[in-house]
Amino acid sequence: MKNFEFQNCTKIIFGKDSEEKAGTEIIKYSSKILLHYGGGSIKKYGLYDRVKSCLKKEDIGIVELGGVLPNPRLKLVKKGIELCRQEKIDFILAVGGGSVIDSAKAIAIGVPYKGNVWDFFEEKTKIKESIPIAVILTIPAAGSEVSGASVITNEDGLYKKGVEANIMRPKFSILNPELTFTLGNNQTAIGVADILAHIMERYFTQEKNVDLTDRLCEATFKTLLRNTPVILKENNNYAARAEVMWAGSVAHNDLLDTGRVTDWASHMIEHELSAIYDIAHGEGLAIIFPAWMKYVYKNNIERFAQFGQRIWGVDFHPYDLEGMALEGIKRFEDFLKRIGLKTRLSEISISDDRFKEMAKKCTENGPVGSFVKLGKEDVLNIYNLAK
Amino acid sequence: MKNFEFQNCTKIIFGKDSEEKAGTEIIKYSSKILLHYGGGSIKKYGLYDRVKSCLKKEDIGIVELGGVLPNPRLKLVKKGIELCRQEKIDFILAVGGGSVIDSAKAIAIGVPYKGNVWDFFEEKTKIKESIPIAVILTIPAAGSEVSGASVITNEDGLYKKGVEANIMRPKFSILNPELTFTLGNNQTAIGVADILAHIMERYFTQEKNVDLTDRLCEATFKTLLRNTPVILKENNNYAARAEVMWAGSVAHNDLLDTGRVTDWASHMIEHELSAIYDIAHGEGLAIIFPAWMKYVYKNNIERFAQFGQRIWGVDFHPYDLEGMALEGIKRFEDFLKRIGLKTRLSEISISDDRFKEMAKKCTENGPVGSFVKLGKEDVLNIYNLAK
């Protein structure tokens, strides 16, 4: 086990009607906030009105900024920063999924910073300050409600980059599984693919002595395998929605990477896809991850055999670990298909035209990943395996 | 899944030589501290000197209070409170196991309180303030390094009582598995029994929809089953010591009880034992828990069958869940014996003389537990099953 530090102060407020606590929690920090959200869905289903009414009960002033798109854009982040400065706002409430939360985090670090907020994403400067943010989560997927990370797309060149700092973790996150009842099956499945990917980016490590975190990863993974098919059949199944929602946060609150080196190559390989083609991150991960697995499994057949046996129940066979590994990968891909996801780029009409360009951009700061370090040619091979 | 709130801000600093970070962490809070510890072991193995030297590097003033005993006493807590007030100390560093940490926490809530600190334990008043504490952990067992709880024994009447408040969680806890190399096998095993009990007090719930936390409990439990026999053979096995140490914290940082109603009857039944006979808490739990299981399993055979199948690998048999349940309980007891623990009161020379008195005291505020509510007669029956 590697030495590590772990601290996650985000307060989780989980359960039915929990969004009604937003006002009493926020008033501990601020009396004037930016209410940040995406499209119309929070208005369509009444959440917008409920949130505003609970904020008004505490006399909290509200300035609104909607319109966050999937793969949130730098332009709106800059608009949010200006708005907060003009209106002297010192708290942001993000109501939505990962894109809204990431956008809120980027605004929050941008407000006290005098330079261009993109500097943080280009690692030109370090994050020292942030105004506090909080979350009402509507889509279990990105895990941004508990993480200190934000991923933003710069429209100028279609760069998608991430930053991370403990100070960026939300002060509190409200998770009401009922708010996810209205998610369509495709959106639900894409979210689950994202959560599974967060677990696997941690699970696939070359560190051998990680027994507890291996098992915690497996526990979280298996919870998703069990509950996802249930909610795809019964959209309003509270118990199963609750499991998926809480698993999404546990997968990404950094407990699962304590003591190990994590990978994140698949995330970076996918970011190139969603930056150019504007697909959902989870949609891309469902395609990239199986390809990545096929490309790298020979570098640690034992770990892939463990993945097959412990998570997928592949029969243990001591003289055929490779067979176990391949069967695990196959069952993973089968599961993605079962929940309605595509696992090949051709199925979402992405051809190989820009593979070279993406592989180059993905590795422009050097090889990606740690399980196996992947250079430009490796990344190109993975895109080709995903064709 | 029940509605819940979860927040645990304790910073974990885990790994080799991590105690050397104590000074640089403490100086963020204070420049004069109470150094609180137990007997001579921290001096014997050089930890005491290393800690003092790293504090001196930061010019941190040190006032010492050693002598914490297992089942920490109110008398020393009161002495610590006086000492902190006299010396104007606003930070406590606990170096030791659960008893030292619990003692430090009780001092920390006592310092700013004008009345008798025992008032908190008798629920006469609520905890509103605490001076901050931090931990260098030497025994993986109590989980107090991440919890907001403290259990203290009042010598006057031999009452052992606990209090809990989020504000009591340590600011940071330093966990270096190397510090546990010198623990004897008996002390190691007793610690593991305590950790297993913390998991089981959460695992045995009547709440059905707790899939993720069930699996996280099972993951943590199985990590201990695998690694404990290893460290009993190889006391200096860093990898296995690290797993047990981190599992001890994960078991008790309150993640494992999110969304469920927990039990804690066995803890309360055991507290009567250790209050009177001054045995180690884990030693008592290894005796009480199997007896409790045998007494209550019929109230939820399904859950005990799951315990048997998922944790102990008992063969699934749909028409004999009771057999699966009983086999699980048997394997649990066998494991305790295998790691060198006694599972009957007679084996540690405790007779039935005071069973009635203990059962009465245990239930003087009403029935204990939630998995099954246990009155005086039930508790008496459990002591008798543990004979």
Is any Cβ of chain A less than 8 angstroms from the Cβ of B39?
A: no
How far is the alpha carbon of A328 from chain B, nearest alpha carbon, in Å?
A: 20
The arithmetic mean of pLDDT across residues A127-144, rounded, is: 98
Distance CA A110, CA B184 (A): 54
Handedness of CA A231, A235, A239, A244 (dihedral sign): positive
Report the residue from B5, B12, B247 with minimal CB separation from A13: B5
Residue B3: list chain A partners with CB under 8 A: 14-16, 18
Question: What values do phi and psi take at A149, rounded to 5?
Answer: -115, 155
Asked if residue B34 lies in contact with residue B191, where contact means CB atoms within 8 angstroms, the answer is no
| pLDDT at residue B169 in the model | 98
Handedness of CA A175, A178, A182, A186 (dihedral sign): positive
Distance CA B290, CA B288 (A): 6
Asked if residue B339 lies in contact with residue B189, where contact means CB atoms within 8 angstroms, the answer is yes
Residue B9: list chain A partners with CB under 8 A: 7, 9
| pLDDT at residue B40 in the model | 81
Is any Cβ of chain B less than 8 angstroms from the Cβ of A211?
A: yes
Share of chain B above pLDDT 70, in %: 100
Best mutation target among A12, A179, A212 (most B Cβ atoms within 10 Å) is A212
What the block records as the tokens of B224 is 């201990």
pLDDT band at B158 (very low <50, low <70, confident <90, very high): confident
Structural element, H or E, at residue B13:
strand B4-14
Asked if residue A77 lies in contact with residue A117, where contact means CB atoms within 8 angstroms, the answer is yes
pLDDT band at A158 (very low <50, low <70, confident <90, very high): confident
> Domains along chain A?
11-179 (3.40.50.1970), 183-385 (1.20.1090.10)
pLDDT band at A68 (very low <50, low <70, confident <90, very high): very high
Q: DSSP state, B349? A: T
Least confidently predicted of A282-296, A318-332, B155-169, B235-249: B155-169
| pLDDT at residue B203 in the model | 98
Is any Cβ of chain A less than 8 angstroms from the Cβ of B10?
A: yes
Pairing of strands A159-164, A149-154: antiparallel
Distance (Å) of CA B101 to CA B16, B48, B126, B179: 21, 16, 20, 16
Is any Cβ of chain A less than 8 angstroms from the Cβ of B171?
A: no
Angle at A244 between CA A243 and CA A250, to 5 degrees: 85
Distance (Å) of CA B346 to CA A308, B25, B285, B337: 46, 47, 14, 14
> Does the pLDDT of residue A330 top 80, yes or no?
yes
Residue A7: list chain B partners with CB under 8 A: 9-12, 172
Distance CA B14, CA B26 (A): 16
Nearest to B211 by CA among B86, B303, B91, B119: B303
Asked if residue B168 lies in contact with residue B130, where contact means CB atoms within 8 angstroms, the answer is yes
Report the residue from A5, A212, A227 with minimal CB separation from B11: A5
Distance CA B183, CA B160 (A): 25
The arithmetic mean of pLDDT across residues B323-329, rounded, is: 98
The arithmetic mean of pLDDT across residues A361-376, rounded, is: 97
Distance CA A334, CA A98 (A): 26
| pLDDT at residue A40 in the model | 81
Q: DSSP state, A168? A: G
One-letter amino acid identity for B324? Answer: M
The 10s digit of each residue's pLDDT in B106-144 is: 999 999 999 999 999 999 999 999 999 999 999 999 999
Place of tokens 């295998």: B338
Looking at chain B from residue 81 to 140, which residues have their Cβ under 8 Å from any Cβ of chain A? none
> Does the pLDDT of residue B157 top 80, yes or no?
no
Task: State whether B12 and A5 contact (CB < 8 Å).
Answer: yes
pLDDT band at A157 (very low <50, low <70, confident <90, very high): confident
Asked if residue B359 lies in contact with residue B376, where contact means CB atoms within 8 angstroms, the answer is yes
Q: Which residue of chain A has the CA closest to B18?
A: A3
3-state secondary structure of B139: coil
Handedness of CA B282, B288, B291, B293 (dihedral sign): negative
Distance CA A163, CA A182 (A): 31
Best mutation target among B9, B25, B167, B212 (most A Cβ atoms within 10 Å) is B212
| pLDDT at residue A281 in the model | 92
Structural element, H or E, at residue B12:
strand B4-14
> Does the pLDDT of residue B48 top 90, yes or no?
yes
The 10s digit of each residue's pLDDT in B69-80 is: 998 999 999 999
Residues 6+ apart with CB under 8 A from B384: B352, B355
Task: State whether A250 and B14 contact (CB < 8 Å).
Answer: no
Task: State whether B1 and A246 contact (CB < 8 Å).
Answer: yes
Q: Compute the mean pLDDT over every residue in chain A, rounded to the nearest whole number.
A: 97
Q: A163 pairs with which residues across the strands?
A: A150
Task: State whether A246 and B227 contact (CB < 8 Å).
Answer: no
The reported pTM is: 0.97
| pLDDT at residue A149 in the model | 97
The 10s digit of each residue's pLDDT in B342-368 is: 999 999 999 999 999 999 999 999 999
Distance CA A32, CA A92 (A): 9
The arithmetic mean of pLDDT across residues A6-11, rounded, is: 98
Best mutation target among B246, B254, B257, B316 (most A Cβ atoms within 10 Å) is B246
Q: Is B268 exposed, middle or buried (0-12, 13-18, 19+ CB in 10 A)?
A: buried
Q: Compute the mean pLDDT over every residue in chain B, rounded to the nearest whole number.
A: 97
Asked if residue B101 lies in contact with residue B124, where contact means CB atoms within 8 angstroms, the answer is no
Residue B234: list chain A partners with CB under 8 A: none
Distance CA A45, CA A100 (A): 17
Asked if residue B203 lies in contact with residue B307, where contact means CB atoms within 8 angstroms, the answer is yes
The arithmetic mean of pLDDT across residues A339-360, rounded, is: 97
pLDDT band at A173 (very low <50, low <70, confident <90, very high): very high
Residue B242: list chain A partners with CB under 8 A: 1, 209, 259
DSSP B38-99: -SSHHHHTTHHHHHHHHHHHTT-EEEEE--PPSS-BHHHHHHHHHHHHHTT---EEEEESHH
One-letter amino acid identity for A364? Answer: E
Best mutation target among A28, A146, A172, A246 (most B Cβ atoms within 10 Å) is A246
